[in-house]
Amino acid sequence: MSKLSLVVASGLLGPAPARAHPRCATLSACSSTTPNTNLDRNPSMTPERIGLVQQGFRAVAPIRTEAAAIFYRRLFTIAPELRALFGSTDMAAQGNKLMASLGFVVQGLKQPDIILPAIEALARRHAGYGVRDVHYEIVGQALIETLEEGLGDAFTPRAREAWQAAYTMLSQVMVAASRTSERPETLP
Ligand code: HEM
């Protein structure tokens, strides 16, 4: 089993569905149920951009706790009203979960078929947390500002473009998936 499959199997992105999707024997064999996500053929995620995003995340990894703190500080500065969504949340634990899930996505950019079902499940849980489409843009802004602050000069214009493309792709997939619900296990 690959490292990535292990991450998926261990439920890093939260409780796994009973089965990845109807008709799929295993998560790695599972294809998306979300229409038009186009994750695996996204032309904006060139190999160069994937490399830049992965390189940037490696640079952030040693300061992940601080990066998560910067992220939420930025987020609540941009949109103080979002604090209400995290009313009873342990923010240190939440920061760890966020960084772990971002790491999972970044690591899987070259294997979108593996990460897509987990991203869709994450998006559906977010709909239940009260997250709305408009919030994804705000989170994207906070993420870019965090990278700017955390990476300094290493966050070059090309790295910024790469992260923006990656986040746009991720948020489009999540917004689309948040409108869907898991199909019933038994299909005609
Ligand atoms: C776009 C990428 C995002 C990623 C990778 C991400 C990641 C996560 C993860 C891993 C969790 C832990 C719970 C779980 O796995 O279900 C979580 C919870 C949460 N996220 Fe996100 N998230 C994203 C976007 C957003 C957005 C746009 C919002 C809106 C403000 C948001 C608000 C929340 C809230 C309210 C929780 C629940 C906190 C609690 O436990 O009370 N997230 N997120």
State the fold for domain 45-178.
Globin-like (1.10.490)
Domain ranges of the chain: 45-178
Please give the Cα distance from 102 to 14 (Å, whole number): 13
Distance 13 CA to ligand 1 centre (A): 10
Written as one letter, the residue type at 175 is V
> pTM for this structure?
0.83
Distance 188 CA to ligand 1 centre (A): 34
The answer to whether residues 59 and 155 touch, using CB atoms and an 8 Å cutoff, is no
Pocket of ligand 1 (CB under 6 A): 13-14, 82, 85-86, 89, 94, 97-98, 101-102, 122, 125-126, 129, 131, 135-136, 139, 170-171, 174
Contacts of 157 (CB under 8 A, 6+ apart): none
For the beta carbon of residue 185, count every other beta carbon within 10 angstroms: 11
Return per-residue pLDDT of the chain as tens, 188 residues: 444 443 443 344 554 443 344 333 333 344 444 444 455 567 889 999 999 999 999 999 999 999 999 999 999 999 999 999 999 999 999 999 999 999 999 999 998 888 999 999 999 999 999 999 999 999 999 999 999 999 999 999 999 999 999 999 999 999 999 998 764 444 44
In the chain, % helix, strand, coil (3-state, to 5) comes to 70, 0, 30
